[in-house]
Structure 1
C-alpha cells in the first residue's frame, strides 16, 4: 500500500463501511461473554487480586531474582501504579537501577548485556514515574544510551553483532524505548525529538499492508508497504500502540493544511530550525498507519494471545489508553472487563501470574493492566505535568505560535497587559481573541494571577457560559490557572457543561486548586460519576467557605 493517502472512491466506500461493520462485529463477539460485570480498577475483586499480586512480589520475588534491571523496574512500577509509592521495594528498585548506570554516564560505557532495550526502556519509564528530580542525571544518561542504541532505520532491537537479528528493528523492544521517551518528556526531561521522528517513520515502513506487525520489522524499500513475516496480534497491538505514542505529539487527526503537514507541527519554529531539529513525518502517513493498525486489531483481537499473555495484556492497556488520548473515546467493547476477568480467572494461589516471562514479570504486567498503568500516566501528565501538550491538547491553531523548548513542543505564551487583555473581550476578531485566551492556559499560574485583575476575572466567569465551546474551554483553563478560590463555584458550574472535554478540564482545575492528587473524573464518565463529582466539590468548598452559594 502506498504511503500517500489514498482517496476512497464512491464505489469503494460502501465496501469499506461494510468491512468496518464486520470488524466491529468480530470485536464485539470477542467480548460478548465477558462484559456483564463491568469491572473497573476500583472493583473490589480487582483490588483484592492486585493486593494478592503485590503480596507475592513482596514475599516471593526474592527467590527468582537474577539481577535483571527490567525486573527491578517492573516490581517498582507495580507497587507505584497500585498506589504504594512508599513501599520499600519501590525505593530499592530505583536505587538498584541508578547504581547500575555507569558513573561516566557515557553511552559506550553501558554494558549491553545488562542494559538490553527491554530493561533500558522499563528503567526509564520507572525512574520518570517515580522521582524524575532525584534521578534526573541517571534518566538523562539512559536517554543518551537509548539514542546510542537506536539503529539507523529508526527501530531498536538486539545488538548490531547479533547474528540473527542484528540488522533488524524489534517491534517488541521498540515499544519500551518509545514509551520511555514519552515518559521522560512528560516528566520535563529534555528529549531530542529526532529519535521519535525516526522511529515513527520506522513504524510506518515496517507495518504489514494488512495493518499488523511482525516481531522483527523489515522496512519497505519504497513507497509500497511489503509483507512482513510472522505477523501476529501481539505485535500488531505493540506496533500500533507505539505509533499512537508518536501520534500523541503530532495531532494527526486534524485536517491538513495545503502543504500536507499538520496544523500543530506544520512548520518547525526558527529556533528549532537553527538547532537542526525537525519533525519530518507527515501526519497523513501516521493517520493511514493508525487506521490500518486499528482495522487489523479489530479483526484479530483476542484476550488470550496464546503466548506472552500478561506482557500482551499490558500492551493492550497501553494501546487503548493512547488511542483514547489521540482519537477520543470510541464506542469500543469493554476490553478492560474482558481482560480483568481473564486475569482473575488465571491468578495462581500464591497471588502470582505465570507464563513465558516468569512469575515476577508476568505478575507485574498483570497488575499494571488491572490498575490501568498507562491511563494513570496520561492523566498525571494532563493534570500535573510541566506544560507538555499531550495529544495536541491546547496547541495553537497556527504554527507560528509554537516552538521546541528543551526538545518539547510547547505553545508560545502570549504576554499581554491587563488593558490589552480587557480589549480582547470586545475584539470583533473572535478567532484572534480565542487564541489569546487559550494562551492564558499555557502560561504559568503566577503570570495568570497578575493578569486577572479588576473586572477581567468577572469577564472570564461570564465567558464560562459562552455558547462557543472553545470560549468556555479557554475560560475554564484560565480560571483554573489563577489559583483563586473565588473561582471555584464557576469551575463547579463548568462540571455541568455538555462538552465532556470542558468537564474534565474543570475537574482537573479543581484538583489543582484543592491540591488533591487523587484520581478525578475518568474519560467517558457517566452522569452518576458527574453528579458525584459535583456533590464532592460542593462539599469540599463549603468546608472552607460555609456560606458558599451555587447557581445549580
Structure 2
C-alpha cells in the first residue's frame, strides 16, 4: 500500500533532517511495493550478513569526515555520529563498540552546548541531531544518561513553535520532516520515563492534522489554515506523506490514544526471597495527565494518507529518489507505527520490506551503501542497517511488551554464549512447550529436569498464547514443590527473551536448588544481553548471591522503573 515518493524539495535536501530522518525513521512501511522475488525477514541469514557487513563498514569508516562540520554543535556533524552509533548499538547492543562510543561522545557534546545561541537557518540541523542523540543515549542506558535526556526534554520544550510544529530556528511555518524527528525523540523520552510536555505533543498533533493536504499527503513546509478546513499544500511528496503520517501516529501514541502499551506495572506475582527487600518504583508516568483527543480525525487522516500513498510509490526502486535510504527508513517507521495503532495482522515478510531489501542489495557498494546528496556513505549505511533490522518495530515491541528484538532461541549452554555479528551462537534448544506444562504443573512428577528439554523446543509465537505460557511458567518457578519442574520452568523462562519474566528469574536466583539458580542466572544474562552477568559463580556464597540479586534488581529498574519488588 505504501509506495515511494517524489524527490524532496531542494530545501529539504540540505537538511540533516534528511539524514537523521531516515535514520530515526528506522523501520516499517505500509504500502504494497511491486512484487519482490523473495520473501525476507530480518532474521534471514542473508539479511544478517548484509547487516553485519554494514556495521563492520561503520567501524572501518568511524573516522570518516562527516558531511556537516563538527566546528559547532548545531550543523549536524554530531548528529551523524549519533546516527551511526545508534545503528551499531541496535544491531549488537555493545556500548563499548567504537562507533557507539564515538556517537555517545558526540551526543553528550551536543547536549552540553544546547544552551548556546543556535544560528538558525538551513545551516542549523539541531532538531535532527538532538533527535539522533536521544535515540542513542536512551538505547545505550537511559538511567546513566538521564541528565542528558532531561536536558533534551528542555530543548524540545523551548524549540517548539507556538502552532505546535518544529523547524529551523527563526522560522515559524513548521517543517514536517523535522517535526517527525521531534516526535520520535519525545516518544523515546517518554518511554524512558522522562516526563515531557504532553500538552505540547497535543499541539503538534493538532498542527499535523491541520496541514495535511486534501489529497492525503503532507508537505515539507506546512501552510496552517488555523482551522479544520484543509487547504492545498505545496511540495507534497510520498516521503513527506510517510513523515507526516508517522509523526501523527507517534504523537498520538505518546498520548496513549492506541491504548496503554507500556509493560511493567507492579507485578501481581508476589514472593521474592526474604533477603530481597522491597524496591519502590520511581514516579509512574502512567499517572501523568495527557491531553484527550478524539480518535476519529486521526484515523481518517491515516486512511487519507494511505489513499495518497496507493497512488504514489515510495519504493526507490520504482521511482528514483534523491535520498533513497532516508526514504526507506521513514517508510519503515510509518509502517511500524501504523501496524501498532491499527492492530494490523503481523506479516513477517511484508511486500514493502521485500522490495526495500531488493533495492538495497542492488545498489550496495561492497559491504556499505554509497553517500549521496548531503550524506556520507556512513549515514547511508546506517539508514540501510536500521531498515534491514526493522529497528522501529524493535523499539515498539520493546516499549510495549518488554521483549527484546530478535529470535527466541537460546544456546543450550548459556555460559558459553557468544555473539557473531547480529547472531547469537551456541547449541540451540528446542519446539512446543504445551505438552510439558501439564506434567510440569504436577508437583509429584520426577521425570523432568532442565537438561532434558527436547531439541528445537519453541515457545508460542502468538502474543496471547505466549503470555499464557509465561504466566504458567512463572507460577511454577515461584511455587512448585518439584525441583525438576522449577528447573524446567527457569530454563524456559530464560529462553523466552521476554523482559516481563525478569522478576521471576531474580526470585529464582535464591532457589534452594543450585541448578535452578544457574538456569535463572543464565536466562537473565541472555535476556539482558549482559553475557558476563554480575559475577555470580555457579556456587555463590550468601554474600555473592545477595550482591547478584541486588545488581539484577537495579538493572531491571533502569529498564522498567515502574516495577515494585515485593518482599515475602
TM bracket (short chain): 0.5 to 0.7
Change (3 A) 1:370 1:353: farther
Q: Is the 8 A contact 1:241 1:319 kept in 2?
A: yes
Determine whether 1:209 maps to 2:221.
no
Determine whether 1:74 maps to 2:74.
no
Distance 1:174 1:72 in 2: 21
Q: Is the 8 A contact 1:185 1:191 kept in 2?
A: yes
Distance 1:90 1:470 in 2: 32
Q: Is the 8 A contact 2:363 2:369 kept in 1?
A: no
Cα deviation, 1:111-157, whole Å, max 9, x if unaligned, reads: 75666111111111211111111111111101111111110111101
Distance 1:88 1:340 in 2: 27
Alignment of 1:324-343 (within 5 A): 324-330=339-345, 333-343=350-360
Q: Is the 8 A contact 1:303 1:339 kept in 2?
A: yes
Q: Is the 8 A contact 1:481 1:509 kept in 2?
A: no
Distance 2:358 2:528 in 1: 26
Match of 2:34?
Answer: 31
Determine whether 1:230 maps to 2:231.
no
Match of 1:320?
Answer: 335
Cα deviation, 1:183-240, whole Å, max 9, x if unaligned, reads: 1111112222122111111111111111100111112222211111111100001110
2:198 aligned to 190, 193, 198, which one? 193
Query: Deviation of residue 486 (structure 1)?
Result: 5.2
Match of 2:370?
Answer: 353
Cα deviation, 1:351-408, whole Å, max 9, x if unaligned, reads: 23333242221111111101111111112213439xxxxxxxxxxxxxxxxxxxxxxx
Q: Is the 8 A contact 1:41 1:370 kept in 2?
A: yes
Query: Deviation of residue 253 (structure 1)?
Result: 6.3
* Greater RCO, 1 or 2 (C-alpha within 8 Å, sep 6+): 2
Q: Is the 8 A contact 2:199 2:290 kept in 1?
A: yes
- 5+ residue gaps, structure 1: 1-25, 161-165, 255-270, 386-468, 494-504, 520-552
Select the structure that is richer in helix.
Answer: 1
Q: Is the 8 A contact 1:157 1:173 kept in 2?
A: yes
Match of 1:267?
Answer: none
Distance 1:173 1:483 in 2: 49
Distance 2:485 2:184 in 1: 38
Determine whether 1:129 maps to 2:139.
yes
Distance 2:473 2:208 in 1: 38
Distance 2:117 2:474 in 1: 44
Return the TM-score normalized by structure 2: 0.59
Distance 1:308 1:115 in 2: 17
**Aligned Cα RMSD in Å?**
3.7
Q: Secondary structure, in 3 states, of the residue corresponding to 2:179?
A: helix
Q: Secondary structure, in 3 states, of the residue corresponding to 1:300?
A: coil
Change (3 A) 1:470 1:209: same
Distance 2:98 2:463 in 1: 46
Change (3 A) 1:508 1:251: same
Q: Is the 8 A contact 2:111 2:130 kept in 1?
A: no
Q: Is the 8 A contact 1:251 1:326 kept in 2?
A: no
Q: Is the 8 A contact 1:201 1:281 kept in 2?
A: no
Determine whether 1:144 maps to 2:131.
no
Change (3 A) 1:287 1:89: same
Change (3 A) 1:138 1:509: closer
Match of 1:119?
Answer: 129
Q: Secondary structure, in 3 states, of the residue corresponding to 1:101?
A: helix
Determine whether 1:245 maps to 2:245.
no
Q: Is the 8 A contact 1:110 1:145 kept in 2?
A: no
Change (3 A) 1:31 1:222: same
1:308 aligned to 299, 303, 323, which one? 323
Q: Secondary structure, in 3 states, of the residue corresponding to 2:378?
A: helix
Distance 1:251 1:484 in 2: 34
Determine whether 1:58 maps to 2:59.
yes
Distance 1:309 1:128 in 2: 27
1:295 aligned to 299, 303, 307, which one? 307
Match of 1:155?
Answer: 165
Distance 1:51 1:472 in 2: 33
Q: Is the 8 A contact 2:314 2:327 kept in 1?
A: no
Moved more, 74-83 or 480-489: 480-489
Alignment of 1:405-484 (within 5 A): 484=477
Query: Deviation of residue 518 (structure 1)?
Result: 7.7
Q: Secondary structure, in 3 states, of the residue corresponding to 2:196?
A: coil
Distance 2:476 2:205 in 1: 38
Q: Is the 8 A contact 2:187 2:254 kept in 1?
A: no
Match of 1:181?
Answer: 186
Change (3 A) 1:518 1:297: farther
Cα deviation, 1:74-133, whole Å, max 9, x if unaligned, reads: 111110111252312212211221133237x75x66675666111111111211111111
Change (3 A) 1:190 1:342: same
Q: Is the 8 A contact 2:111 2:148 kept in 1?
A: yes
Moved more, 310-319 or 51-60: 51-60
Distance 1:93 1:331 in 2: 33
